[in-house]
Structure 1
Amino acid sequence: MTSGTDRSRAQAGTVGDLGIGILMLDTHFRRLPGDIGNARSWSTPVQFRVVRGADPAAIVHGRPGDFLQPFIDAALDLVSCGVRGITTSCGFLALLQKELAAALPVPVATSSLLQAPLIEAMLPAGQQVGILTFAPEALSARHLSAVGVRTDTPIEGLAPDSLFRRVYGAQGGVSDFAVLEQEVVAAAQALVEKHPNAGAILCECTNLPPHSAAIARATGRPVFDIIGFVDWFARSLMPPVYPKD
């Protein structure tokens, strides 16, 4: 018997060997290599869907729940094309983790923040993870609780008047890699200066991975981001086959 999902895949035209489907915010800025929305960032096949109207302001500072159904619809479209897992292009969509996981027939990892409990389990006694975020004033206890993160977790982020916030918040501004990296590194250094027990840095924002290496060099801490997380996720969906001898 052919299931409803199988029928929808046949109607949509399944694409082979797709591990991850990425739900993208509605943006128009330049996405650097290492950014979740740049195809060159990935070592595994991915498929993108833009959720129209879900721009950074609406998701970070607005009501992401208003876009739940459009995100579900876009995810189901990706599943119909053959993807085996879903992620998103904004860590603030942690607020929709439970709802999307309940609505979809494949595993869902909405946010890099899902890594926090695992990172803390790996750290030496007395250390905790610190979060580097796009908008520290907007990342609330609700976001953290939605994905099982301690609400006393240290948080640092980019200033509202930074080029990073202007570019990736779709407020205007020309992308300049050197300036963006300088701002990101300064925020990471502020995080560890304020919280010396932050033994690892977790990047909430999916635009931060192009700068993960610089963050690690500047702080001496391991750095976790969405690209490493989704690579791990994708490997579980499409495990490698090893030689028999």
Structure 2
Amino acid sequence: MSGFIGILMLDTAFPCVVGDAGNADSYPFPVRLHVVAGAGSPDIVRGRAPDPALIAAFVAAARALEAEGALGIISTCGFLVHIQDALAAAVEIPVMVSALSLYPALRLSFGARPIGILTASRDSLLGGALQSAGIDPGAVHVAGMQDCAAFAGAILSHKSDQPDVLDSRAIERHCTDLARGMVAQHPGLGCFLLECGNLPPYAAAIRQATGRPVYGILDAAALLWRGAQG
């Protein structure tokens, strides 16, 4: 079957390394990136839905990808979970814009063991995004990358302030340290879920450092792709 997975991408300037949701080389199947103009990180990484004009822009982008032949749609930012329902209702193809949508299946898979969520912004996740995803904050452990200078300065800043070089080593050290700390504090942790589409490049390092399975938006994309194959 021909076609591709469509990727709704924030309007950013930092480089997306291989493994990042915004890098086409991260996928073993065809994808197509669609940048939503004006949708910068500060506009989306927050505890509530984007402004109405941006919601309309994302809906239009999803419809455009569908018209071009997309078999399913994901995104580069898990905080778009706030508009998951609106996007899914706007098209006839499956939509999973946030890795947080994987949570119900992981919850069932790991039984009573809690799940650790690594996010771009802990305050924003706890401030409303978990609620939008239907996740009980008391059932998960959350750590955020907002205090990592290499991450926040590149990914959470305004587009005009974002660098053209990403310190991936510093980001990897920080997120693996966070993951180790979560396991040390909560030894019963079953797995990690990466809310942020910029964190999958470090999934293997997190897995090696903690001995826990790691899931993210690339897994959602693979699920949609496999489901569309005849």
TM-score of the two chains, using structure 1 as the length reference:
0.85
Is 1:187–2:172 an aligned residue pair? no
Q: Is the 8 A contact 1:65 1:96 kept in 2?
A: no
Q: What letter is aligned with 1:191?
A: M
Q: What letter is aligned with 2:20?
A: D
Q: What letter is aligned with 2:143?
A: E
| Partner residue, 1:204 | 195
| Aligned-pair CA distance for 1:172 | 3.7
Structure 2 gap ranges (5+): none
1:48 counterpart SS class: strand
Q: Is the 8 A contact 2:74 2:220 kept in 1?
A: no
Matching residue within 68, 74, 94 for 2:55: 68
Identical amino acids, percent of aligned pairs: 36
Is 1:151–2:142 an aligned residue pair? no
| Aligned-pair CA distance for 1:143 | 1.6
Question: What do the CA deviations read for 1:94-124 (whole angstroms, capped 9, x no partner)?
Answer: 0001111122221110100011111111115
Matching residue within 21, 28, 33 for 2:6: 21
TM-score of the two chains, using structure 2 as the length reference:
0.90
Is 1:114–2:101 an aligned residue pair? yes
Q: What letter is aligned with 2:132?
A: A
1:29-40 matches, cutoff 5 A: 29-40=14-25
Matching residue within 94, 97, 117 for 2:84: 97
1:64 counterpart SS class: coil
| Aligned-pair CA distance for 1:159 | 3.4
Once superposed, which parts of structure 1, at least 4 consecutive aligned residues long, lie more than 3 Å away? 170-174
Q: Is the 8 A contact 1:158 1:184 kept in 2?
A: yes
Mapped to 2, the partners of 1:206 and 1:161 lie a distance apart of 16
| Aligned-pair CA distance for 1:215 | 0.1
Question: What do the CA deviations read for 1:174-232 (whole angstroms, capped 9, x no partner)?
Answer: 41221111111112122222332221000000010110000001111100011122112
| Aligned-pair CA distance for 1:141 | 5.6
Q: Work out which of the two has the higher radius of gyration on C-alpha atoms and give 1 or 2.
A: 1
Mapped to 1, the partners of 2:213 and 2:59 lie a distance apart of 33
Which structure has more relative contact order (CA 8 Å, sep 6+)? It is: 2
- Aligned residues between the structures: 223
| Aligned-pair CA distance for 1:63 | 4.7
| Partner residue, 2:38 | 53
Q: Is the 8 A contact 2:11 2:41 kept in 1?
A: yes
> Larger deviation: 62-71 or 109-118?
62-71
Question: What do the CA deviations read for 1:152-177 (whole angstroms, capped 9, x no partner)?
Answer: 22111113352111111244454122
Mapped to 2, the partners of 1:165 and 1:101 lie a distance apart of 30
